[in-house]
Chain A
Amino acid sequence: MEHDITPVKNIIFIVIFTCAMLVTPMAHAEEQRIAIVASTRSGIKAISAKEVRRAYLGASIVLNGIEIKPLLNQTDKLVGEVFLQKVLYMSAEAYERQLLSRKFGGAGHPKPFENLEDLLAALQGDDATITFMLYEKAINTPDIRIIGNP
């Protein structure tokens, strides 16, 4: 259905729409690789993409006799979106809803970290913990080991 909108109303619409577009976060268009990491002391040697996906969706995954504890890396919006796109195949909102429904079902919720130092400290503090990082960042970060490359 077409609506008769006056030029003034069009200008208002354009201004509002432009503002809305401006608040949308920017991202790089190059292909990004995600790495699943754990502490160098961790007994977890490797993890498949499916196991990572299940772990982050709230399922209990035991590897090498260790029940893994996934940590959410929210230190950067891009790393989160790359992880969601390449590992979980869902949007951030869908993931939130998914976690919420799993939480009501009694499953654990991956602990979120917005500070990288805290995240790395958590990794070092518990050998059962894993998290995800951009591949280029992971290879340059000490005391962690890449255990998966989904």
Chain B
Amino acid sequence: MRPLTRTKRFFYSYTGRMLLGMLTIHTILVPLVFVSVLLMLQSDYQSQFVNNARSHSYLLANLISEDPRPAKIKSIINDQLLSGQVLQAEFKGLADPVNDNFSEDFFFGHGGDKIYHIIVPVRSSNDQLIGKLRVGFDEAPVEEHVKQTYRWGMLVGIGFIVLSLLFVFFFGHLLTRSVRQLREAARRIAHGDINERLVISTTINEVHDMAVALENMRGKLVFREQEIALHAARQSAVLNTADEGIITLDEHCLIQSMNPAAENIFGFRNEEILGTPFTRLLVPGDIGRFLSPVGEPIPLSHQELTGLRRSGEKFFLLLSISEGKVSDTRFFTVMAQDNSERHIFETEMEYLATHDNLTGLPNRALLYDRLQQGITQCARARKMAAILFIDLDRFKIINDTLGHAAGDIVLKGVAERLRGCLREGDSVARNGGDEFTVVLPMLNDPGDASVIAQKVLAALTQSFILNNEEFFIGGSIGISLYPGDGSDADQLLKNADIAMYQAKAAGGNTYRFYSD
């Protein structure tokens, strides 16, 4: 759109339109009014002239009729000519010859000689016609007067138009001042400058109403802007203080925003990651779980993938992905959690659930599990397995005399010594108190169990140094064998326990195989 020139802009303005309107009206009306008035004036002048001429002629005829002697008539006519009241005067008696020039006018301006001629009959006192008086009156002064009136009228008309236009220009300018103020205010609001209060002083109701409406609109905009700012601040606070990493992606999977939690998780600053593909935050093997075949993120709910930190460190990444839409633009929100700690915690919890807290040995539950595995393994390999049920001798004396702390030291030492006695693949567990169980899978011969039982007894009989004193304990070991003494873990454990009591009954510090 081409910008309007200054002149065009003026004529497209309210003042310009008023000027054009006024000019149009005046161009039509003023000539009509002034011509009408001037014609009336002209008619009035001419009528007065004719009236004066006719009445003057009548008086002159009467004057002559009073003394119609030629000398007197001549004297009267000369007086009239000298006084300038008439331009021409001629008396014709009834006997005088009348030529063609003895004519008269009945309308002003007729004849073209600028003289208004009147022929008046002159009668005697007894109403007898004695002659005719032809009087000529000068029309020129009236014509000049009419011309003068026309000139004045035209000047007044032009002056009237000019003054009207000037008045319209200044009045239009004055009238539109408040409208221009409104326009400026609207422009300021459009440019976002909404904090300045709108003050427009006008006595025009429509403009005042518009100003009030605009001010109301501005007030609402200010309120809305404050609300939006507050809302944005809240959202920002939520994003900034959230424990979860929140990342927004566009439909091409490029990172649009990342909150501080996400920065901490991945080790990237916002400015170095924005606009880059999200897939750089995943190990290559997991990209297929994140992206669909068309390259869009797959909506996920608490799916664990392997994340990649800026340092290259891999970690457990718990992702939830949801899709959103603003106007026609799709976007994706990724909720990211570093799941590494949870994994560590779960590992610890599992360890605590399956191991003895004091000695670090597997507890009875894990032992049971391993025993099951050992049985299965042996059954498949057609091998034997042995369960050694160990109960410490004289441990209660140490516990009662030196206290639980000393007892714990002994138990830890026993555990350490038992570990040292076992082969790779064997398991040792603490059942609780001073009882331990050893599982020996994949044996070829019961004698193998005897060898290990002897090693265990040898280890246990070595002294423990407690409070700078040497203490000695021992162990009673009951042994059950798979598959001879039972086909399942419960049976085997029970039988080993029975055998242990047999060893204990034999005086302790010995081992016994289960026997029916």
CB-CB under 8 A for A32 and B106, given A13-B151, A49-B123: yes
- What per-residue 1/0 map shows which CB atoms of B45-61 lie under 8 Å from chain A? 01110110011011000
Task: Say yes or no: A89 contacts B155, CB within 8 Å.
Answer: no
Contact A91 B105 (CB under 8 A): no
Interface residue? B42 (CB, 8 A): yes
- A13 x B48 contact (CB < 8 A): no
**Contact assessment for A91 and B106 in the assembled complex, using a CB-CB cutoff below 8 Å:** no
Judging by beta carbons under 8 Å apart, are A17 and B104 in contact? no
Interface centre among A17, A30, A84, A91 (most CB of B within 10 A): A91
Q: Which of A20-28, A99-107, A108-116, A120-128 binds B?
A: A20-28
How far apart are the CA atoms of A12 and B102 in the complex, in Å? Answer: 37
Most buried by B among A3, A9, A48, A85: A85
Q: CB distance B47 to A94 under 8 Å?
A: yes
8 Å CB interface, B31-71 against A: 35, 38-39, 42-44, 46-48, 50-51, 54-55, 57-58
**Inter-chain contact B127/A48, CB cutoff 8 Å:** yes
Residues of A within 8 A of B146 (CB): 17
Does B145 belong to the interface (CB within 8 Å)? no
Q: Are B150 and A13 in contact (CB under 8 A)?
A: yes
Residues A94 and B104 in contact, CB atoms below 8 Å apart: no
Note all chain B residues with C-beta closer than 8 A to A78: 106
CB distance from A54 to the nearest CB of B (A): 13
Q: Closest CB-CB distance, A24 to chain B, in whole Å?
A: 6
Which single residue of chain B is at the shortest CB-CB distance from A23? B39
The answer to whether A29 and B105 touch across the interface, beta carbons within 8 angstroms, is yes
Cβ 8 A contact of A91, one of B51, B57, B158:
B51
Shortest CB-to-CB span from B451 to chain A, Å, is 143
A92 to B106, CA, bound (A): 11
Q: Which residue of B lies closest to A4 (CB)?
A: B155
Instruction: Given A90-B54, A91-B51, A93-B47, verify A30-B103 contact (CB < 8 Å).
Output: yes
B159 to chain A, nearest CB (A): 12
Docked CA distance A27–B46 (Å): 15
Contact A90 B55 (CB under 8 A): yes
Interface membership of chain B positions 99-131, coded 1 if the CB is closer than 8 angstroms to chain A and 0 otherwise: 000111111111100000111110100010000
B224 at the interface (CB under 8 A from A): no
Contact partner of B106 (CB less than 8 A), chosen from A23, A27, A50, A88, is: A27
A16 lies within 8 A of chain B by Cβ: yes
Interfacial chain B residues near A17, Cβ < 8 Å = 146-147, 150
Bound: A50/B65 CA distance, A: 14
A93 nearest in chain B by CB position = B47
Q: How far is the CA of A27 from the CA of B57 in the complex (A)?
A: 19
Query: Chain A: which residue is nearest B49 at the CB level?
Result: A91
Write the nearest CB–CB distance from A74 to chain B, whole angstroms: 15
Which residues on the B side are within 8 Å of A20 (C-beta)?
Answer: 35, 38-39, 42
List chain B residues, Cβ under 8 A from A12. Answer: 154
Query: Distance (Å) between the CB of A48 and the closest chain B CB?
Result: 5
| Cβ-defined contact, A84 with B54, below 8 A | yes
A5: chain B residues at CB < 8 Å are 151, 154-155
B103: A residues at CB distance < 8 A: 29-31
- Are B151 and A89 in contact (CB-based, < 8 A)? no
Q: Which residue on chain A has the smallest CB distance to residue B55?
A: A89
Chain B residues with CB below 8 A from A26, complex form: 107, 110
Partner of B35, one of A9, A16, A31, A85: A16
Q: Is A130 an interface residue (CB 8 A)?
A: no
B63 → chain A, closest Cβ, in Å? 13
Q: Given A3-B151, A3-B155, A93-B47, are A86 and B108 neighbors across the interface (CB < 8 Å)?
A: no
Chain B, Cβ-Cβ closest to A3? B151
Which of chain A's residues have a CB closer than 8 A to the CB of B120? 86, 89
B106 touching A24 by the CB < 8 A rule? no
Specify which chain A residues have a CB less than 8 angstroms from the CB of B47 in the assembled complex. Answer: 91-94
CA distance A92 to B108 in the complex (A): 12
Q: Are B150 and A16 in contact (CB under 8 A)?
A: yes
Tell which of B46, B47, B54, B108 has the most Cβ of chain A within 10 Å: B54
Q: Are the C-beta atoms of A93 and B51 separated by less than 8 Å?
A: yes
Which residue of B has the minimal Cβ distance to A95?
B51
10 contacting pairs across A/B (C-beta < 8 A): A3-B151, A3-B155, A16-B35, A20-B35, A27-B106, A48-B127, A81-B106, A85-B54, A86-B121, A91-B50
